[in-house]
Chain A
Amino acid sequence: MSGGDMSDIVITGVGQVPVREHWDVSLRQLAARAILAAIHDAGEQKPQALYISNVLGSLLSRQANLGALLTCDCGMGGIEGTTIEAAGASGGAALRTAYLALRSGQVDCAMVVGVEKITDVVGPGVDKAIAETLDTDYEGMLGVTPTAMAALLMQRYMHEYECGHASFADHPLAASIHAVGNPNALYRKALSREEYEKSRPVCDPLNLHDIAAYADGAAALILTRSELVSKDFKSIPVRVSGSAVVTDRLSLHDRPDPLAFNAAGISISQACRQAGILPGDVDILELDDAFSIYPVLSVEAAGYAKRGEGTTWMKATVASGKPALASMGGMKARGNPLAAAGVYQAVEAVLQLRGEAGDCQVKGAKKALIQCLGSASATAAAHVLEITQKS
């Protein structure tokens, strides 16, 4: 779809809670805090529809029908509200749904909230719940988890391209350094290369620092069409110039080439084509780094690097800062609240484009590309966000 004479879809409000182990905060409270923060940020603009990204509510909080629960809790009772689920891509998929609703003209102001309450359950119970994002009959029931899937990919990658574990260090290290300046990040300590390489083996070849920790979080966005932005709006609207969701075969064992993250690559090319840019044109590139192998396979799929050269590209790109990777810590250091992760990406990109990213600010950032993945690129959501000139 080309831009043509269509109005722009813009983000006018963002809200987030720090990613933490929020023992004292429930699913509904997490969501409400992010929702109210976004409404306030948007100048008290109220949405007509709420799109909720959530995976684990039914499994870990025994709570379904979040649409009715959260709209009512937040004083928006009666409006449209539904849950969007696509594993780790849920946040991007919910943003896509809001985008389509606004494009359709049926909704003039939409809200996206990504929320995940994980820490009520610990250890094996969380792993089991998250494993339900795999094929339960042919993967999950055999004791396999998404962490194991990432390990299978990394093992195969290291075999095919004859590289060692250390070559995956650059994205996690950059993420950890960037998170130091992000008050909403879970881990605000810069990792050293030695700490990365010597961290505890979890699921070989994955070590502790190849894995983003799951934690509680909620993040929210308010979106509208550009012509509806109030003259009194004090902030800078951020345009959603490209939006795509693509799926692949759910299981690695069903893919002819598991190292080809096709959905990741296609969604980036679709979102960029819609925005009229090339993937290399962005100032900020926020990839799904739930596991350190993911961003490597994603940049190869998207054409940033040739097959087998993703780790080399990563090293050079971290050094140049163009584009800036994981500019506020990525999932690795901000933390991974599964369905909320993609919404955090959008919130962080908006802050960067507005120039409100504080110690994490990427100077002069004008375009951002964000991508989140459901399982190992079984679902991929990509969005291009751009700064608009304040009218």
Chain B
Amino acid sequence: MEIPRHWRLKQQRYALVGEVCPHCDAKIFPPRDVCPECGGEAREAYNFSGKGEVYSFTRMGEGPAGFEEQAPYTVALVKLAEGPVVTAQLTDLGDTKVEIGMPVEMVTRRIRQDGDERGMIVYGYKFRPVMQG
């Protein structure tokens, strides 16, 4: 894996930093410097709360190369409280039965490891069921 590529994305992977559009106030994730709503330039950083709900989900029986050992795992489209939808793995599910509309929150987890113990470990966002209490 390419170290600069992951380093560049550290704010997104570790802290869900997106952008806010100065023209129409749309919250943007992933950041792309152009507002998908109004087409205006949007470079102002915006910190998402990490709260959201499951829009759709699936349990993958087999993973692609690099993810074989994690399988089976659950991936979801998570609709963030601020509007955008993010694709991510769900984690810490235990016996929880995943359902559309289930409230979830962002946590930082190991996404994958490159090869053996010398390989780079990529950390990033996953989402877990909202903790009770």
Contact = CB atoms under 8 A, between A and B. Distances in A.
A249 B36 CA distance: 10
A253 B64 contact: no
Given A137-B9, A143-B89, A155-B57, A124 B36 contact: no
18 contacts: A124-B64, A124-B65, A128-B65, A135-B30, A139-B87, A142-B75, A143-B66, A148-B75, A152-B76, A155-B57, A159-B100, A201-B61, A203-B59, A204-B59, A206-B58, A254-B36, A254-B85, A258-B77
Contact of B64 (A143, A156, A251): A143
Given A155-B100, A253-B86, A254-B36, A141 B122 contact: yes
B14 interface: no
Interface in A94-123: 123
A278 B87 CA distance: 37
Tier of interface size on chain B:
20 to 34
Contacts of A127: 62-65
Given A143-B60, A152-B76, A155-B56, 10 more contacts: A127-B63, A128-B64, A128-B65, A141-B112, A143-B111, A152-B58, A156-B56, A156-B77, A249-B36, A252-B85
A145 interface: yes
Interface string A259-282: 000000000000000000000000
A135 B77 CA distance: 14
Nearest to A205: B58
Interface string A51-71: 000000000000000000000
Interface string B34-74: 00100000000000000000011111111111111010010
The listed residue with most B CB atoms (<10 A of its CB), out of A137, A144, A203, is: A144
A15 B87 CA distance: 40
A147 B59 CA distance: 11
Chain A interface size, as a band, is 35 or more
Interface of B: 5, 9, 30, 36, 55-68, 70, 73, 75-77, 84-89, 100, 111-112, 122, 124
A131 interface: yes
Contacts of B30: 135, 137-138
Nearest to B1: A141
A125 interface: yes
A156 B55 contact: yes
Interface string A343-359: 00000000000000000
B77 A253 contact: yes
Given A141-B111, A253-B86, A148 B56 contact: no
A299 interface: no
Contact of B58 (A142, A155, A251): A155
Task: Give the 3 A-B residue pairs with the shortest CB-CB distance, closest first.
Answer: A151-B58, A127-B64, A128-B65
Nearest to A150: B58
Nearest to A139: B87
